[in-house]
Structure 1
Amino acid sequence: MEEKWMVAAKRADFNGLGKKLGIDPVIVRLIRNRDVFSEEDTAVLPDGRTLAEEKIEKYIRGSLKDLYDPHLMKDMDKGCAVILSAIREGLKIRIIGDYDIDGIMSSYILLTGLKEIGADVDVRIPERIRDGYGLNENLVRQAAEDGVNLMVTCDNGIAAAAQIALANSLGMRAVVTDHHAVPFADHEEGEPGTEGMEKTEEGKRREYLLPPAEAVINPHRADDAYPFEGLCGAGVAFKLVSALFDEVLTDAAYAVKKKEDYLQFVAIATIGDVMELKDENRILVREGLKRLHRTENPGLLELIRQNGIEKEAVDVYHIGFVIGPCLNASGRLDTAERALEMLCAKTVEEAAVLAGDLVSLNASRKEMTIQGAEKAISMVEEGPMRCDRVLVVYLPDCHESLAGIIAGRLKEHYNRPSFVFTDADGADENGEPMVKGSGRSIETYSMYEELCKCKDLMTKFGGHPMAAGVSLPKEKLDQLRRELNGNCTLTEEQMTPKVTIDVPMPLSYIREDLIRQLEVLKPFGNGNPKPLFAQSGMMVRNPRVFGKNRNVCKMKLVAEDGCSMDAVMFGDGDEFIDYVQSHRRISVIYYPGIDTWQGRNSLQVTVTSYR
C-alpha cells in the first residue's frame, strides 16, 4: 500500500531544554512530537522551572504520586457511598463485567477489591454469543431472582439506560463504571428544553443520555472535570477501588500495597484495550509492568510461562500480541469467566490447567482468524465493495467473536473503516433474522459518530471513534452499507496511510548513549509510538533473507558520507531484494537499537519502511 511520509515539524528550544534537563536534544524533540508540551509552555513556575520542563520531567519520571485523586471523578463519592452502604447492610452485590481483556481485568479488580472490604459480592460476565455486549434484560432479571440488591457495572453500562431502569423497577440499585462514549441525541436549535445544552458544529443542541443509576462514574461525562479522560474500564475500576480503600482500610501502608497490587492488571487492560499511553495511562502502564515482572498471581505466572516468556521480560508487545489474545480468546470462543477464574486461582496447579485452556483456545482463534480474513479480502477484491470508502462485509459462517479481529485486518489491509457482520441468533419484532457486527476505524473517521447518523437502522450499537459493535436486521445490512458510504466524507488523502518521521537523522549521529536515552520514552504503544528516523541516499550491501517464511532480511546500509551500519528488516524479504536491485539508492525509515551477540554489543537499525 502506498504510504505518505511526513516529517514532524513541531518547534521548541530543543538545545536549551536538553541542556537544562541533561538529555540529548533529539530526545526533547521526540517528546515534543508526542505533544507532551508546546512551544508556548514558557511560564515560570514557583520552583524556577518552566511549564515545559515540568511536563517533560513528568513524562520521563512520572510516578505514582503523579496519579490523579480518584475523588475528582464525577459521582465517585456518590458511588462509594452507595457501595459502602450496601456492604454495611449486608446486601448482595453483583458485578456485571465484559468479555474482553479490559472487562476481565475490571471484573477482577472490582471482585477482589470489594471482597477485601467485606462485601457479599459475585460477578457475571456476559457470554458474547448468548448475551451480547454489556448489561441486558436477562442478566437484570436473573440478578433480581438471585436476590441481588446492588449491581455494579464495569467496562459497560453507559448505554444501558433501559436495562438499569428495569433493575430499578425490580427493586435493585445500580452503580455504573465505564469508559465508553456517552450516548447522545441531537436536537434542533430552539427546541423546548435544549437551553444550555452543548452546541455542535452543525448548529444543533446535543443532549447526553446518562443511565438512571445511583452513580455514573465515567471520565467521558461532559460534566466531569477529572483531568484525564483516557482511562480504560479497568482504570476506572481501579480508581473506584482506590477510593473505597482510602475510606475503609485503616492501615495506610496496607492500603497502598493493596492498591499497587492492582497496577499490573490495569496495565494489561490499558495495553490490551489499545488505550493511548499518555498522561496517567503512561504511569499506570510503566508502574504496572514493574509489578508484573515480580507478580505472584498464579494465573498470570502460568499464562506467562506457558507462552514461553520470561516473567522479567514481559513488555507491551507480549501483552498486546501474546498474553492479551489468550485472555481475549476465552471470551471469544468459550466464556470469559474462565479467564477470570484463572486470575482468581489460588494454586499453580489450578492455574496451570486454566492457562493451558486459554493457550489452546488462542491457537484455534488464530487459525479461524486467518481463514476469515482471507475470505473477507477476497470478497472486497472480487465484489462491488472495492471502491467503497467504508467496507461492510458479511461473513455468515464467521464465528461472531472474530468479527472485530477480521474487521481490524481489513482496516489494516485497505486503511479504510471496516465492518464485518455475521449471522446472529434471534429475530427482530417483525421476525426478520438478525446480524451482528464489529467495526474498526482509522484516525480520520469517528465510527461511533457516523453510526449515530444511521441509528434508526440498528437495534443496538455502541463504541467509540476507533471501534464499534452493531446489531441490526439482516435485511437492513445493505442499506447500512449505502448510508455509511453516502455519509462518508473521507478523501483519498485521508485514506492514504501516513508515516510520521520524528527526525531525519543520519546514521552517523547514532551512538550507544543516545539509544540508551531512548529508553526514557518507554513504554511505547498507542499515543506514544516508537520513534522513527529517516535517511535518504542509502545503498544496501549484502542483503540476505532468512526465516521459514522468508520474512527477515539482514543487510548493511551505507550512507552517502560513507557511514555504514548493520540493519534488519521484517517483511517480504524477496520483495525487498527485488526492489533494491532495481534502485541504486533508497530512502529508509528506521529505529536504532543495540544488537547483542555472544556478549558483544553492536549498533543496528531496524528498517520499518523504504522507497
Structure 2
Amino acid sequence: MEKWFVAMKKADFNGIAEKYQISPIIARLMRNRDVIGDEAIDFYLNGTVEDLYDGLLMKDMDRAVDILKEKIEEGKKIRVIGDYDIDGVNATYILQQGLAGLGADVDTDIPDRIKDGYGLNQMLIDRALEDDVDTIITCDNGIAAMNEIAYGKENGMTIVVTDHHEVPYLEENGEKKYLLPPADAVVDPHRADCEYPFKGLCGAAVAYKLVEVLYRVSGKSEQEVEHLQESLMENVAIATIGDVMDLVGENRVFVKKGLEFLKTTKNEGLHALMQCTGVDTANLNTYHVGFVIGPCINAGGRLDTAKRALELLNASNRREAVTLAADLKELNDSRKEMTEEGVEEAVRQIESSSWKDDQVLVVYLPECHESIAGIIAGRIKERYYRPTFVLTRGESGVKGSGRSIEAYDMFAEMSRCRELFTKFGGHKLAAGLSLEEEKVEVFRKRINELADLTEEDLQMKVSIDMRLPFPYINEELIHELKILEPFGKGNGKPLFAESKLRVIQPRIFGKNRNVLKCRLEDQQGNQMEAVYFGEVEDCLQQMEKKQIMSFTYYPTVNEYMGKRTIQLTIVNYQ
C-alpha cells in the first residue's frame, strides 16, 4: 500500500510569481524542489553556460593541467582509462577528443566488466607499460585505486586521476581518515579539501571541466572554447542523465544545453543511434536519453565490450555509425529480453518461497548474466518495495548487485556482515558484492536478522506537489511547466492530485494491450481525458469495482491527426 502526502512547503508564492513573471503554481513547484532565495531562483530559471564555475576551483586541477600541458608539448604518450558504463564511456571520449584537439599523442583503454571488473587494475597498467605509455589519466574511476596507482608510480608512470566518486576512508576514534591515491594529481570534487562549490558532477563533467581549463591555459581562442562546448557538452548531458545524477545546480545547465546541442548533433554515431532507435529529435528530452539512447550505450559494456560504444562516438562516417548503432540496439534488445526473463524467474522464486515475507529480498539466479543483476534488483525492489539483492554465478564464486529503498542504508547494513563477502562496495541505495556460493543462504539469513525496518519504512511514499482541480488545467499551464525542465532525479516531474473523481468508460487498448484510457469527472462535473501506462489490468479491475477514486497525475497535450486535447497521465491511483 502506498502512503500519499502533499508537500506543504511555505513561501510567498505570489511575491515570487510577480517578481519572476511566472505563475504562483510554478513558484510553489520550485519551492517544493528546494529552490530558495533570489540567487537560486534566478539560476534555476535563467542559468546559462556562462554561470558555470571555473574548473580551476577544483583541488589539483592546476596541477593536472600543468602536467598534461607539459606532456603534450613533449609529445609523450598519454592513455585515458575510463569505465564501462555510460558515464565512463562519455568521460573517456571527452578526454580523448579534448587532448587530441590540443595535439596530444593519446589513446584509450576501458576495462572489461567481467574479466577486469570496475576501475583501474594491474592488468591495465601492465598493458600501458607494454605500450610505452608515459602518462595515464583516469576518468570516472581511480579514487579508490590506491595500490594500482602505487604500482604504476613504482614503474615510473605519471598518473592523473579524475573521478567523482566518494573518497574511501578509515574510521579511527570516530574520525574519518581519507585515503587519497598516490597519483600526481587527484581531481575529484568529493575530496574533503576541495572547495569547488558544486559536488554533484558526474565523471564526464569533471573530465569536461579539465579539458575546458586545458584549452584556456593553452591559449585557445574563445571561439575554439565555444566549439569545444558545442561538440562535447552533449556527452556531459548524456552521462549526467545516464549516471542518474541530481538535476540541480550546474547539472541542470549541462543537461539543458547539452540536449539542445544533441538535437542537431554533428556526432555521426549519436545521430545514427537516435535514428535507429526512433527518437523524435525535435522533442528530445531526458526520457529519451535515460530510457532509449542510454541503455544502448550501456549495453556494450554489459553484454560485450564498452569499447563498442566508444567506437560509436568516434565513428568517422555515416556507414560505420549506422552499423555500430544497429549493433548496440541489438545488444540492448537482447539485454531487455534477458532482463524480462530474469525478473519473471525472480518473481516466481519469491512467490513460491518461505522468504516471501523477508524484509530484505535475496534472490539467487545462477544462470543470469551478472551484468543485468542490478537492473533486475531494481525492478524487484520497485515491485515489492523491499531492499533487494540479486545474485548470479560468476567465474569464481557468486556475484551480485543490490538496490535499496529510502529507509535502508544498504552499504552500512552490508558493512555489518562484511566477513561474509570476498569483496563489496557501494552506497546507501545501491551496492555490489562477491561471496562464496555456500554463503548465499547464510547471507540471506544474516542480512534479514540485521534488518529492523518498520511497517512504515516498507510503505512506498508518494510525494504530491499539490492538489490541482480540473478548472486550473489549461494549455498555458502545461506550456509553463516546461520552465521546470529538464526533469530527472532531484528535479522530478511535478505530481498533482485530485480526489473523489468518477471514472467513465475505462478501456485497455494498444497493440500490446498496455495502455488504459478513460475519462475522469470531478464533483462539479468537469471532465478530463486520462491515460495510464502501468499495470493496466490491475488498474482496470479497481476502476470497474470502485468508480470513485483518487489519482495523481501530470497534465500533457496530446496531438493526434492535427487535433490537440488536454490529457492527464495517471501516475498513481487509490
Task: State the TM bucket, normalised to the shorter chain.
Answer: over 0.9
1:294 to 258, 264, 271: 264
Structure 1's unaligned 5+ residue stretches are 38-51, 190-203, 427-433
- Structure 2 SS opposite 1:185: strand
1:440 to 403, 408, 416: 403
1:120 equivalenced with 2:105 (yes/no): yes
Partner of 2:228: 258
1:271 equivalenced with 2:271 (yes/no): no
Contact kept? 1:21, 1:53, Cα under 8 Å: no
- Deviations along 1:553-575, one digit per CA (max 9) or x if unpaired, are 22211100121111112233343
Greater CA drift, 83-92 or 126-135: 83-92
Give 1:174 deviation, angstroms.
1.3
Matches of 2:46 and 2:571, distance apart in 1 = 29
1:223 to 155, 178, 193: 193
1:470 equivalenced with 2:433 (yes/no): yes
2:513 to 539, 542, 550: 550
- Deviations along 1:162-192, one digit per CA (max 9) or x if unpaired, are 11111111111211111112212112x2xxx
Give 1:397 deviation, angstroms.
1.0
Give 1:325 deviation, angstroms.
0.8
Partner of 1:495: 458
**Using a 3 Å threshold, how does the CA distance of structure 1 residues 523 and 356 change in structure 2: closer, same or farther?**
same
Matches of 1:148 and 1:458, distance apart in 2 = 35
Partner of 2:26: 27
2:498 to 535, 538, 544: 535
Partner of 2:39: 54
Partner of 2:6: 7
Matches of 1:336 and 1:396, distance apart in 2 = 24
Partner of 2:379: 409
**Using a 3 Å threshold, how does the CA distance of structure 1 residues 436 and 575 change in structure 2: closer, same or farther?**
closer
Partner of 1:91: 76
Give 1:418 deviation, angstroms.
1.7
Matches of 2:137 and 2:412, distance apart in 1 = 27
- Deviations along 1:462-515, one digit per CA (max 9) or x if unpaired, are 333322222233344444434433333432212211111101111111122111
- Structure 2 SS opposite 1:605: strand
Contact kept? 1:180, 1:463, Cα under 8 Å: no
1:459 equivalenced with 2:429 (yes/no): no
1:237 to 207, 210, 227: 207
Matches of 2:560 and 2:457, distance apart in 1 = 43
- Deviations along 1:199-252, one digit per CA (max 9) or x if unpaired, are xxxxx2221211111111111222222111111111111111111111114322
Contact kept? 1:180, 1:464, Cα under 8 Å: no
2:131 to 146, 154, 158: 146
**Using a 3 Å threshold, how does the CA distance of structure 1 residues 342 and 15 change in structure 2: closer, same or farther?**
same
1:570 to 515, 518, 533: 533
Specify the code of the residue in structure 2 equivalent to 1:295: T
Give 1:5 deviation, angstroms.
0.4
- Deviations along 1:499-537, one digit per CA (max 9) or x if unpaired, are 111011111111221111101000111111110111111
Specify the code of the residue in structure 2 equivalent to 1:32: R
Greater CA drift, 54-63 or 448-457: 448-457
Matches of 2:479 and 2:539, distance apart in 1 = 30
Matches of 2:406 and 2:230, distance apart in 1 = 33
Give 1:277 deviation, angstroms.
0.7
Matches of 1:489 and 1:282, distance apart in 2 = 37
Partner of 2:523: 560
**Using a 3 Å threshold, how does the CA distance of structure 1 residues 486 and 357 change in structure 2: closer, same or farther?**
same
Matches of 1:328 and 1:255, distance apart in 2 = 29
Greater CA drift, 25-34 or 234-243: 234-243
- Structure 2 SS opposite 1:523: coil
- Deviations along 1:124-161, one digit per CA (max 9) or x if unpaired, are 11111111111111111221222122111111111111
Matches of 1:455 and 1:153, distance apart in 2 = 28
Matches of 1:18 and 1:467, distance apart in 2 = 39
Partner of 1:378: 348
Matches of 2:399 and 2:129, distance apart in 1 = 28
Specify the code of the residue in structure 2 equivalent to 1:505: L
**Using a 3 Å threshold, how does the CA distance of structure 1 residues 83 and 478 change in structure 2: closer, same or farther?**
farther
Equivalent pairs counted in the alignment come to: 574
Give 1:435 deviation, angstroms.
1.9
Greater CA drift, 256-265 or 296-305: 256-265
Contact kept? 1:3, 1:499, Cα under 8 Å: yes
Matches of 1:387 and 1:208, distance apart in 2 = 39
Contact kept? 1:91, 1:149, Cα under 8 Å: yes
Greater CA drift, 235-244 or 296-305: 235-244
Partner of 1:601: 564
Contact kept? 2:91, 2:140, Cα under 8 Å: yes
Specify the code of the residue in structure 1 equivalent to 2:255: V
**Using a 3 Å threshold, how does the CA distance of structure 1 residues 457 and 284 change in structure 2: closer, same or farther?**
same
Give 1:85 deviation, angstroms.
2.3
Give 1:604 deviation, angstroms.
1.7
Give 1:104 deviation, angstroms.
0.7
Partner of 2:388: 418
Partner of 1:511: 474
Specify the code of the residue in structure 1 equivalent to 2:171: D
- Deviations along 1:5-32, one digit per CA (max 9) or x if unpaired, are 0100100011111112111101100000
Greater CA drift, 348-357 or 469-478: 469-478
Matches of 2:448 and 2:318, distance apart in 1 = 52
Specify the code of the residue in structure 2 equivalent to 1:360: E
Contact kept? 1:184, 1:206, Cα under 8 Å: yes
Contact kept? 2:556, 2:567, Cα under 8 Å: yes
Give 1:590 deviation, angstroms.
1.1
Specify the code of the residue in structure 2 equivalent to 1:444: A
Partner of 1:70: 55
Q: Which runs of 4+ in 1 moved over 6 A?
A: none
Matches of 1:225 and 1:343, distance apart in 2 = 33
Partner of 1:49: none
Structure 2's unaligned 5+ residue stretches are none
Partner of 2:324: 354
- Deviations along 1:90-126, one digit per CA (max 9) or x if unpaired, are 2211111111111110110011111111221111111
Specify the code of the residue in structure 2 equivalent to 1:215: A
Give 1:582 deviation, angstroms.
2.2
Contact kept? 2:550, 2:573, Cα under 8 Å: yes
Matches of 1:183 and 1:459, distance apart in 2 = 18
2:300 to 324, 330, 337: 330
Contact kept? 1:117, 1:249, Cα under 8 Å: no
Contact kept? 2:231, 2:266, Cα under 8 Å: no
Matches of 2:365 and 2:178, distance apart in 1 = 34
Matches of 1:600 and 1:175, distance apart in 2 = 57
| Cα root mean square deviation, aligned | 1.6
Specify the code of the residue in structure 1 equivalent to 2:415: C
Greater CA drift, 17-26 or 290-299: 17-26
Greater CA drift, 573-582 or 400-409: 573-582
Matches of 1:391 and 1:222, distance apart in 2 = 35
TM-score, reference length from structure 1? 0.91
Matches of 1:606 and 1:238, distance apart in 2 = 37
Matches of 1:98 and 1:232, distance apart in 2 = 12
Contact kept? 1:181, 1:464, Cα under 8 Å: no
Contact kept? 1:550, 1:572, Cα under 8 Å: no
**Using a 3 Å threshold, how does the CA distance of structure 1 residues 226 and 447 change in structure 2: closer, same or farther?**
farther
Give 1:59 deviation, angstroms.
0.7
Partner of 2:94: 109
Greater CA drift, 546-555 or 402-411: 546-555
Matches of 2:156 and 2:440, distance apart in 1 = 38
Identity of aligned residues (%): 52
Specify the code of the residue in structure 2 equivalent to 1:182: V
Give 1:448 deviation, angstroms.
3.0
Contact kept? 1:301, 1:311, Cα under 8 Å: no
